[in-house]
Amino acid sequence: MGKIIKLTENQFSEMMAYHGSSADFDKFNHKKYLDTGAGDHAFGWGTYVTDDETIGRSYASDDMEVDFMKRFQSNVGQEEKRGVLYEVDIPEDDGSNYIDWYKPVSMESKFRILRKLSYLEQRFNFEASNSLYEALARNGNVVGGQLYRMLMNDLGSEKAASLFLMQCGFDGIKYEEGINYQKHNGASEDAYNYVIFDANKVKIIDKTKV
């Protein structure tokens, strides 16, 4: 499935993606729905979407299984539950607005993070760890996932790390499907998944019961 690129009324470039869930809603809301899915926050805090429809459908099915087991174990409700596949628009991947979990962080991205850390130090007396500064200052190949975990440790939580990166101008994290874990059956060879920090940047275009 190819990516569809378009411009919104505000001239922000967006691309189409998919999200599978057992929850049926009309707007993404981190406070209400973030922890209702089948998976955990293995790649950071935010809304998980994918550019591959097959992967989106699989997560809708996974959510159905999780929800069924919860109802079975608690013996509450016997009504039929169906997953929902959402077709959404997210910010287009322009090569600089997402942190790649598996690839080295660019120097330009490191400078953006360093500037924000410096601001926190001056404004709020925040003190980052030496390991984080060393990872940002050197030309070494620190990858996105390593950097995210360092930020999480220094800032105290996954949510704090994601919100910090959002303040640095990043829309989210991206990671290639099937690296270091089993690829979903039927997923395309170049499929990517995205973790979007701001729920308002995940705009529902269509949704289908599956």
* pTM for this predicted structure: 0.83
- Other beta carbons less than 10 A from residue 66's beta carbon: 15
Q: Are residues 37 and 69 in the same domain?
A: yes
Q: How many domains does the chain have?
A: 2
Q: Are residues 77 and 117 in the same domain?
A: no
SS3 173: strand
Q: Are residues 103 and 132 in the same domain?
A: yes
Q: How many angstroms separate the CA atoms of 10 and 92, rounded?
A: 14
Q: What are phi and psi of 205, to 5 degrees?
A: -100, -40
Q: How many angstroms separate the CA atoms of 125 and 46, rounded?
A: 27
Confidence category of residue 189, pLDDT binned at 50, 70, 90: confident
Q: Are 202 and 47 in contact (CB under 8 A)?
A: yes
Q: Are residues 143 and 180 in the same domain?
A: no
Q: Are residues 80 and 129 in the same domain?
A: no
- Dihedral over Cα of 145, 149, 155, 158: its sign: positive
pLDDT tens for each residue of 85-144: 999 999 999 999 999 999 999 999 999 999 999 999 999 889 999 999 989 987 678 999
Q: Are 132 and 150 in contact (CB under 8 A)?
A: yes
Structural domain of 166:
99-170
Q: Are residues 161 and 191 in the same domain?
A: no
Q: Are residues 111 and 166 in the same domain?
A: yes
Q: Are residues 43 and 147 in the same domain?
A: no
